[in-house]
A and B are shown apart, each in its own frame.
Chain A
């Protein structure tokens, strides 16, 4: 299982990663400070990632490419190739953002920041 955190604010990635490691030091997690860099990583490592179960925690409010733009790009390029589920992880408490996230089938849940280890419950279900 590969955990990926995408947030433009480094501190959030740090917090998420630290909390994940509190749970299990062996857990493997990657962090990206923009949607573009995450997509680039998928592009570059597509062969290895094909067989991996990926859990993405995604921020919404980011400069340049926001969370929804990332989802659209991912859907276009990788949805058929990679096996990933997405959990929105945002400071946003706006209903519109929740609704927008539901438009994407790979989005499983909408979580509020900061990352909590309880968010990992159920991340093993890959039915999307």
Chain B
């Protein structure tokens, strides 16, 4: 044997480059046979060797002694240009990695082939990737004779791999940044496997709830080969988080494996968190409803407001016409001037109500602790002589805890209700009264206002909360009072309930949420 027999099991390179080892493995019994083949290729039967390899044999100093046509084709240098140079001179360029010399020398010295990949440059400058196995060759005296380079152009494969790696990075990034849980489900195990990322994040109880929910849905449905997929919207899963006790998901299921009886074996799928989206959607619906209401309110507002604002003005105009046209006695003049004054007061009160309404619609809630006793007493005291009737006023309180709400709004509501009770008191009754009972609990405040005033007919009661509706011409309201009360209560989470009988009196029950 002229050349040392070196272990020649290519499978040890399997992991580094399957393509090369597949091509070479099993074709030669020993390295020297392989080198023999290379050195005297023409005389050996090479029909089995479908070589895409570019081959060079260099001496101990690395200078090329021989190369095949493939190598010339790969590098673009002809044989004359290559011979006597080092292999790297025909291959390396700007971006080529300089292989650690010690690493190379160690392998060569020990007679161990090695593999690496690098960027090469053709004579024309074109860049390519190559993989190379370097075999040390020894002579019969066991001295290092030289090296064999067995080179393959791996540009295409390398670029694919790089692009796949890039894609994988993109996909991983995507998975990490979307609220989607990927899972697989083994029917026989009834066990859900979640993608790595979610394992760390989800609370164990939540993960278990997810598993139960998905298993429940999978087991209750059939997924055939023809219809392997399903998407289920709005799957609610409990989270064990007090802040967000439930999350809502869109669940995508796909069966990917069936047994010989077409029974599903394995499922994969995605669970997409739509909690926030759903929340935003319902918020949007609510906003939309609010807008529609505002819009229709605006229409009837413009209609009614223009009338209510014009009416006192036209009355003033009419009076002024008369005063200008006629020399009236002073008493009559005074009468008309008082009427002008009344119209001005009415106009002012309508404008005040409109501003009040606008304030309620626009301004934010300002929650504070309420002193209802003070608010109610002051409201009654301020308005008690409106009708020039003595009214028996009783206030009873049942207050279990502090009451929190928006002070400006609740005061406006209470003022309106108490003023109404006073305005519409019945002078025909021997003793007018207003009884108010207040009850405050952790949840709500209930204010009950009962009077024995003139009351309302069924018809008036129905329309009482409409914008600009006036039940009677006995009082000179703007027709906005109860409308504003209703709107204001809507804002602070309150309701109003009104019962009345014409001639008997009215009872109003207001319930307002305790915003603690």
Contacts and interface: CB of A to CB of B under 8 A. Distances in A.
Interface stretch (B283-291, B319-327, B358-366, B436-444): B319-327
Contacts of A96: 303
Given A11-B342, A115-B318, A22 B325 contact: yes
Nearest to B302: A94
B311 A91 contact: yes
Interface in A1-34: 8-9, 11-12, 14-16, 18-19, 22, 33-34
Given A8-B473, A9-B473, A22-B325, A92 B315 contact: no
B263 interface: no
Interface stretch (A48-56, A59-67, A80-88): A59-67
A113 B473 contact: no
A112 interface: yes
Interface residues of A, number: 27
Contact of B473 (A22, A34, A94, A115): A34
Which bracket fits the contact residues of B?
20 to 34
A120 interface: no
Nearest to A94: B303
B478 to A, nearest CB: 12
A61 B311 contact: yes
A93 interface: yes
B306 interface: yes
Interface centre among B310, B311, B471, B472 (most CB of A within 10 A): B311
B319 A11 contact: yes
A113 B343 CA distance: 14
Given A34-B473, A62-B473, A64-B472, A15 B306 contact: no
A5 B306 CA distance: 22
Given A22-B326, A63-B472, A93 B315 contact: no
A94 B343 CA distance: 22
Given A91-B307, A91-B311, A94-B303, A114 B321 contact: yes
* Minimum-distance CB pairs A-B, first 9: A114-B318, A15-B318, A113-B314, A8-B473, A91-B310, A91-B311, A63-B470, A114-B314, A18-B322
Interface of B: 303, 306-307, 310-311, 314-315, 317-319, 321-322, 325-326, 339, 342-343, 460, 469-473
18 contacts: A8-B473, A9-B315, A11-B315, A12-B318, A15-B318, A15-B321, A19-B318, A34-B473, A63-B471, A64-B471, A92-B307, A93-B310, A94-B306, A113-B314, A114-B314, A114-B315, A114-B317, A115-B318
